[in-house]
Amino acid sequence: MTWIDRALLFSPLDYAAVLLLFAAWLGIGWRIENPSSQKPSVSLMMDDFRKVWMREMVTRQPRVFDAQVISAMRQGSTFFASTIMIAIGGGLALLGNTERLAGVAEDLAIGRAPAMVWEVKILIILLFLSNAFLKFVWSHRLFGYCAILMAAVPNDPDHPQAYARAAQAGDICITAARSFNRALRATYFALASIAWILGPMALILSSAVTFGVLYRREFASHSRTVMMTAPPNTES
């Protein structure tokens, strides 16, 4: 079978649906990381809070709370990386049983298609999962770097390098969180790409819903409203 024959196994609507899937993934990621100054995203606002956290850490004694927070972040990235590895293993197992998958799909009245069609659909899912896994692993390592930098911050706030090193730790923490958020978005769209098994229209719908959910959480959620609200002045 030539490449042209393989390409003809998919309809124009299939190609349009896949393009929409990737456009939604890249588009929402760019919008979240590059929002307008009038409407910042939750992720961008959290970057500012991370910088404030590191500045406050300089004068906090002891720093047990800070160590616990960064440890929880590392555990979160570890958990998701392990879960993604299991999902990738399941996807690879499906690649070796596409004939059986095609039979199940036919029994469920999803449609009849050659095994290669199912392989491509599974590979799209694995592509997103692999992207998420690599970013979770990198975020885990960066959170580790951040913990070391935090430990290197002098205990004396009057030390000339105290706030400079705290700023370095804040920048590394922001980079780690950005990688973690990108991994989460890739995971969301991996789940959305599963809908392609039901057909291109299902993939279009799932891509739009995933885009809408991410947009709402970053730009129209209650948590964003809380972060945007300045705390009351309680000073006497």
CA distances from 217 to 5, 94, 136, 194, 220 (A): 42, 33, 20, 22, 6
Q: What is the rounded distance in angstroms from the CA atom of residue 82 to the CA atom of residue 78?
A: 6
pLDDT one-digit tens code per residue, 181-197: 999 999 999 999 999 98
Mean pLDDT throughout 158-179? 95
Confidence of residue 99 (pLDDT cuts 50, 70, 90): low
Cβ contact 113:9 at 8 Å: yes
Consecutive H or E run containing 161? none
Pull the structure tokens for residue 18.
Answer: 């896949």
Q: How far is CA 145 from the centre of its chain?
A: 20
**111-145 tens-digit pLDDT:** 566 677 788 888 999 999 999 999 999 999 999 99
Spatial separation of the C-alpha atoms in residues 58 and 217, rounded to whole Å: 32
Helices in 153-199 by DSSP H: which ranges? Answer: 162-193
- Cα separation, 152 vs 74, in Å, equals 18
Question: Is the separation of the CB atoms in 1 and 119 below 8 Å?
Answer: no
Please give the pLDDT value at position 57.
94
What pTM value is reported for the model?
A: 0.89
Q: How far apart are CA 144 and CA 101, in angstroms?
A: 41
